[in-house]
Structure 1
């Protein structure tokens, strides 16, 4: 795994040393950023079920201002911190070891809003509809926020949840699907 583009292009990322985490491959990561924009002019990132933190780190490398990383696995939290330290991105990042819904609620209480949200939960264990509802309930989404949901291709994701509308869905290989949503006005 590596950073694909931006200020940290080519830098290696540590992987979570367990089989419980499924990292987003460089190929899929590159495809995601071809769709949501190769570079960013600021913005805040919410990388939920972050694993190694690769997607949030990629956003920071491509111009996002800050990122919040969420995972409940201790090995993932350690790996995120190792990656942030090795790239000197700690000051632009927050990392929390907690459950996704608890993190969403806490971010809402703090009044945080995000331009980019990445949801990559363990396949078939979470309801994307419920996650998208929670993001809206706690008002975490900026206008025109983009939400990227990585999922098993056998899972059917909703076309719309509240003001969040799917604008694209892609398949990569035999089991990886990615749905792209945007918050509409």
Structure 2
């Protein structure tokens, strides 16, 4: 697992030493950022269900200014800290060991908002519709922000959630799909 592009291109990242976390493959990460970026001029990201932190770190490498990482597994949190230390990114991030719903509630209380939100929960364990509705209710997504959902390819995601539209879904291999939501028209 490595950083694909940007400031930290080619740098290796540690993966979480447990079977409970499924890292986003380099191929999928590269394809996702080709669609949503590929580079950014500032902005803030939320990497919910962060695992090793690979998606948020990739966003930071490509120009996102700051990122909040959330995971409830202690081994994942430890790996995120190790990866952030390797790249000396500690001053651009916050890391929280908590579940997703508590994290969203806390972000709401702090009046945070994000230009990019990565949702990569354990496959078939969470409703993307419920997660995104909570994000919208708490006003955590900036206007013209993007939500990226990695999910099992067999899982259906809605075409619309609130004011967000599904703008793209791509399948990678037999098991992985990525769906991207934004305000606006379906393409």
TM-score tier by shorter-chain length is: over 0.9
SS in 2 for 1:131: helix
Distance in 2 (alpha carbons) for counterparts of 1:14 and 1:78 = 10
Distance 2:34 2:6 in 1: 13
1:156 maps to what in 2? 156
Is the Cα–Cα contact under 8 Å of residues 132 and 164 in structure 1 kept in the other structure? no
| Runs of 5+ consecutive residues of structure 2 not aligned to the other structure | none
Residue in 1 that maps onto 2:97: 97
* Regions of 4+ moved over 6 Å: none
Aligned to 1:112: 112
3-state SS of paired residue (1:182): strand
Q: Which SS does the other structure have where 1:31 is aligned?
A: helix
Give the root-mean-square deviation of aligned CA atoms: 1.0
Q: Scaled by the length of structure 1, what TM-score is found?
A: 0.99
Q: Give the TM-score normalised by structure 2.
A: 0.97
Distance (Å, rounded) in 1 between the aligned partners of 2:183 and 2:7: 28
Aligned residue number for residue 52 of structure 1: 52
CA-CA distance at 1:184 after TM superposition: 4.3
Matched, 1:61 2:64: no
How far apart are the structure 2 equivalents of 1:183 and 1:96? 28
DSSP-derived class of the 1:11 partner: coil
For 1:183 and 1:47, locate their aligned partners in 2 and report how far apart those are by CA, in whole Å: 20
- Structure-1 residue corresponding to 2:38: 38
Shift of 1:183: 3.1
What does the per-residue CA deviation read over 1:61-93, in whole Å, with 9 as the maximum and x for residues that have no partner?
Answer: 000000000000000000000000010000000
2:180 aligns to what?
180
Who is 1:12 aligned against? 12
Alpha carbons 1:47, 1:55 under 8 Å: kept: yes
State the Cα deviation string for residues 32-87 of structure 1 (Å, max 9, x = none): 00100110000000000000000000000000000000000000000000000010
Gaps of 5+ in 1: none
Q: Distance in 2 between matches of 1:70 and 1:163?
A: 25
Match of 1:77 in 2: 77
Aligned partner of 1:121 in structure 2 is 121
Q: Secondary structure at 2:143's aligned position in 1?
A: strand
What is the distance in 2 between the residues matched to 1:101 and 1:160? 21
